[in-house]
Structure 1
Amino acid sequence: MTQPPANLSQLLQRLRDQTEGQDQVSIGDLLAAVGQRSFGPIVLVAGLIVVAPLIGDIPGVPTLLGLVVLLTLGQLLFRRETIWLPHKLTHRRVGRDKLMKGLDWMAKPARFVDRWSRPRLTWLVRGPGRYLMAIICMLVAAAMPAMEVVPFSANGGGLALMVFGMAMVARDGLLALLGMVLTGGTLWFVLAGLMGS
């Protein structure tokens, strides 16, 4: 059984290693790389791909990854031990070269985050706090189709998911609080953009 990665740098390296030699990478490949019990890393990877240059800008990708997050965290709320995604979804693919550019872009920030993050305010990422984070992430994921209409807002949503994913991986409640602030700002930006158009 695949153990969840201990930090963001380890997650990025695992994605590189597990997809080596492939031209196209499927969502199923990413799921296999992080482990089927790894709710936090899956949210983190979804956010990373939405934020990453060249990938997150492809129309439909933020919505697709929002659906992955909704299905994944919905299962967390129902206390499933492993993650199941529909066959049609797990076989959606992206070019590995684009994925690698996104991972390279994230390498330096990942090292910074890994040095800075540590277990703290853990009540925010365990028990009821964990379920609250899941619900907030699901709200962000559900708003992804609207974010594709409002320029740059999907990046904010992806960043919020990334931060929540890192909070789950590092058991860092301070990151969870930052994720909540980012979510509030992004949803306000989306609503303002939709009302102004």
Structure 2
Amino acid sequence: MQASRDTKADDVTEPHSLVELMQAIESIDTPSGRIRFDEVLDAIGRRAFGPLLLLAGLVTLMPIVSGIPGVPTLMALFTLLVCAQLLIGRRTFWLPRWLRNRTLPSDKVHKGLKWMYKPAQWIDRLLHPRFSFMTGPLGIQLTALSCFVLALAMPPMELVPLTVNIAGVALTFFGLAIMARDGLLSILAFLITGTSLFVILYNLL
């Protein structure tokens, strides 16, 4: 079963922009009215750090989806697992079955994607390779560490309005920076991460 899934993942064309990732999610057939997380992973690929971070950020960023109780915590767990495995040097990301089998209402996912389409097109036009040291091997390790810390803070962010959406912006920017090799966007993501952590500490301490 695992070999079959890995073969399927190898056949997936990795998205290289925010719009491409959104289109991959929109293409998933959901006759049950629910979209399984495993189906989303199949659509975007399971081996690339950038698209997986971007997925976590996109789901966390969409108000209509992130407002569902437990979704930010689910994305935090997903981010923790992916970042931890990258930090220890795994090439293929493993996720537990209970996480892969979690579902979201497909109508809310599609409404959220529709809401983000125009901003996504604008963002994609601004991306291009620059400050490559920020997206090289060391930069990606620092990104994984930063996202790991951010994910630890996301569950309590559900108690503070809008902070989880700020975390979603940071994860989205990190994912896009890696995919587009855009180091400037990575720098902005680090700044947003620091801001979101400061806000949550200020409100909870």
TM-score by length of 1: 0.95
Partner of 1:25, secondary structure, is strand
- Asked whether 1:141 is paired with 2:151, we answer yes
Name structure 1 gaps, 5 residues minimum: none
> Aligned partner of 1:30: which letter?
V
- 2:77 is aligned with 1:60: no
| 1:75 shift after superposition | 1.2
The residue number in structure 2 matching 1:75 is 85
Question: Aligned runs of 1:19-168 on 2, under 5 Å?
Answer: 19=29, 21-168=31-178
- Match of 1:4? 14
Q: Deviations over 1:133-184 (max 9, x none)?
A: 0110111111011111122111111111111111111111011001011011
- CA distance, structure 1, for counterparts of residue 88 and residue 28 of structure 2: 29
Cα drift, residue 110 of structure 1: 1.0
Deviates more, 1:142-151 or 1:90-99: 142-151
Unmatched tracts of structure 2, length 5 or more: 1-9
> 1:105-141: per-residue Cα shift (whole Å, max 9, x none)?
1111111111100111111011111100011011111
Q: 2:199 aligns with which of 145, 167, 189?
A: 189
Task: In structure 1, give the amino acid aligned to 2:71.
Answer: V
Tell me the matched-pair count: 195
Deviation for aligned residue 1:53: 2.1
Comparing 16-25 with 69-78, which one deviates more in the overlay? 16-25
CA drift of 1:20 comes to 5.1
Report the RMSD for the aligned CA atoms in angstroms. Answer: 1.2
- Judge conservation of contact 1:119–1:170 (CA < 8 Å) in 2: yes
Aligned pairs for 1:166-185 within 5 A: 166-185=176-195
- Superposition misfits of 4+ residues, deviation over 3 angstroms: 19-22
